[in-house]
Structure 1
Amino acid sequence: MARGTIRYWAVAKDAAGVAEEAFEAATLAELITKITVGRDELARVARRSSFLVNGDPVGRRAHDAIALADGATVEVLPPFAGG
């Protein structure tokens, strides 16, 4: 079980109610499940978001295949509008 920090950007920050928080999770999938329990709006935003783990894009890789290490920083990047 890794411990780290999750950071929320834009509408994800609004949905979470905080800019960042500590986490304990072994995989990105587990982390997403934990942060969205009881937070329906954050769950909706997370389904449409991209993620960075330690600055590296997750892309289309399965979230349960993304192992998190101690000290990891996960960033939630919702879709951005505009140009």
Structure 2
Amino acid sequence: MAQLQLGDALKDFLNKSNLRSGLRAVQIESIWEEVMGKTIARYTDKIQIINNTLFVYTAVAALKQELVYQKPKIIERVNEALREKAITDVIIK
């Protein structure tokens, strides 16, 4: 049996398990303010990831409209912060 580094073994486990999207969601929540700014983070109610799609929930209509226009930038910024192509689409609710 080949020997793996602990970090490599954990990455392999996460890639094969269903925990990956939950872990990404936690990572995104922790960097959301840094990526999008304090104002947007303050009025964002919930962030969720399902099948590489980022769901952003907010009750503020003006913010919803602004985020719709920023979808490509959100994808770019989040993927850059995570250092992987984790998000392919954004849905604003």
TM interval, short-chain normalised = 0.3 to 0.5
Q: Determine which structure has the larger strand proportion and give its number.
A: 1
Normalised TM-score (structure 1): 0.38
Which structure: larger Rg? 2
Q: Which has the higher helix share?
A: 2
Structure 2 length-normalised TM:
0.36
